[in-house]
Structure 1
Amino acid sequence: MSLFTGYALTVVGALLGAALILASLLRPLLFADARGIATDAISPLTGVVATMRTGVLAVADAVSGYYAAGTQNARLRREVEIARIRLAEAEAVRSENARLRSLIALRESEAPPIAITRMIGSTAASVRRFGFIGVGADQGVEPGMAVRTARGLLGRVLETGRDSARVLLLTDTESAVPVRLVTGEGTAMAQGRGDSLLRIRLINLGLNPLKRGDVFVTSGAGGYFTPGIAVAIVETVTDDGALARVISDPAVSDFVAVQPIFKPEAASALAEVEAPVAGD
């Protein structure tokens, strides 16, 4: 009976399907209402599925874009870092060329330097302030000669070796340089204090005419230094003068020029004046 029932249901189902197909062919709109009801029933579900599919695609695009943007940003950061390094190197070359051009200009002046060399060292922790340059007696350098940079006076040669020399820096406590204001008014002595400042002592005491920012240059008195070399800028005004900052800082000086003594006859007194200093 179960086998017969199965065959019977199969035949009935086939006949019913054939009837439905025939009805849909003869009258296409017969089941339109039924199809509409079915579509309305499943439309919320299909809308949710479509929204989920769109959201998944959007999340996938966002994740892909995030990783792509991160990779691009990392590449751009590397490129910017390399560009900064190249810019710093170019700036270093430009600064080096500017210093060399300044020293070449010194060579072409009326009193050409004896030598142009590098500053090879300076005292950092000592109470004395000395510098060392890479030229000496074999290059014509003598005690008393001025040592300067493109910015201004650095000091003077204290003693020489064959290929090196020791320089008494402006900031040393034994250093004293005759100076004047760039305006030509006010003569003074610039004395080292053992730190980064100079003490400016006015020759003519009275009403102090100095003010912050005044620039002092060598006056030429004494015959060692050529007049007009920049020395210091006033930082603080005192009762008898001022405290001034050295214009040519030995800590950042690279190339220096050694200039001849302004008045060679002044060198005759050098041995007597500098003998105690040279022995320190």
Structure 2
Amino acid sequence: MAPSRDRRPGFSRRAQYSLFVSYVLAIAGAVVGAVLLALSAFNPPAFAAFRSAATEVTAPVSSGVSAVVRGIVSIPETIGTYFRVHGENEQLRAEVKRTHDALVQARIIVRDNRRLRGLLKLREADAGAVATARIVSSSASSTRRFGVLNAGRWQGVEPGQPVRGPDGLIGRIIETGPNTARVLLLTDPESVVPVKRISDGMPALAAGRGDGLIDIRSVYTADAKLRPGDRFVTSGTGGIFAPGVLVAEVRATGSDSAPAQPFASADTFDFAIVSRAFMPTLSPRAAPPEGSAP
């Protein structure tokens, strides 16, 4: 037997209740709409108060729904932003690396310029300069400390002449060739330079140790106190080194002897200045008055 085509809701109580509720809701909505329309037309203040109350009630629900919608909508944008930021971070890291490399190069250039300016000022101030030469090699791994200059007899370099750089004394010439010269560095055990302390003029000797440092040994003073930070310059005694050239700075406390770090190092200088040996000029003796006995 074929099923009946009559699908009226009377055959189902659930369908009847659903239809009844929809009718009730439709009638209630129409009544509420009519009442609101009448209020808006005949009593606007009352309609405004009702509208405000409805807004206060529905605002939290609207906020929650709006937040959910914004979150769903922002998901694609968040994913795109993540990948975009990741790419920008990679670009920034590469830029920082390039900037760091450029900064290192700039520091090297500044240091070289400072050395060259120091050499220029030293050459201008040193009237006894013989030649400006390049330090082509130095013995840093041996107990004997020597350096080699690419200037020799043809450039006026002779044994006994002092060698200095912008930061201080380097050593003295001990051998010369036509275009090369051998320098005895301050740190060599055979090197001894007369010095004096800047603060009080205390005389001392700067003797090489062969390990990159020198010993400051006091002379003519009993129980001399040497402290870290004491600076010593050449005293001019001996007639080789001109007075006032920086030599070394004390690193540890000592009574009569203390280790010191030279201001100038042959390993860090590209160029050095060779000067004539300093010979202190003798003050002329006053001529005896006429008629006096010789």
Indicate the TM-score class for this superposition, using the shorter chain for normalisation.
0.7 to 0.9
The answer as to 2:125 corresponding to 1:131 is no
CA deviation vs aligned residue, 1:161-198 (integer Å, no higher than 9, x gap): 22222111101000000111123521111110111221
Distance 1:207 1:30, change over 3 A: closer
The answer as to 2:108 corresponding to 1:114 is no
Q: Which residue of 2 aligns with 1:243?
A: 259
Q: Larger Rg: 1 or 2?
A: 2
Contact 2:196 2:203 (C-alpha < 8 Å) held by counterparts: yes
Give the alignment partner of residue 229 of structure 1, picking from 241, 245, 260.
245
Tell me the SS of whatever aligns to 1:249: coil
Q: May I ask how many residue pairs the two structures share in their alignment?
A: 236
CA distance in 1, matches of 2:242, 2:263: 16
The answer as to 2:182 corresponding to 1:166 is yes
Q: Which residue of 2 aligns with 1:69?
A: 85
The structural deviation recorded for 1:56 is 4.0
The answer as to 2:144 corresponding to 1:150 is no
Give the alignment partner of residue 203 of structure 1, picking from 219, 232, 248.
219
The structural deviation recorded for 1:118 is 2.3
CA distance in 2, matches of 1:85, 1:130: 34
Distance 1:186 1:59, change over 3 A: same
Q: Which residue of 2 aligns with 1:212?
A: 228
Contact 2:240 2:277 (C-alpha < 8 Å) held by counterparts: yes
Amino acid at match of 2:130: I
CA distance in 1, matches of 2:66, 2:221: 96
Unpaired runs of at least 5, structure 1: 13-28, 37-47, 266-280
CA distance in 2, matches of 1:33, 1:131: 111
TM-score, length-normalised on structure 1?
0.73
Give the alignment partner of residue 59 of structure 1, picking from 70, 75, 97.
75
TM-score, length-normalised on structure 2?
0.70
The structural deviation recorded for 1:250 is 2.3
The structural deviation recorded for 1:50 is 8.9
Amino acid at match of 1:219: S
Tell me the SS of whatever aligns to 1:204: coil
RMSD, matched Cα? 3.2
Unpaired runs of at least 5, structure 2: 9-22, 31-63, 282-294
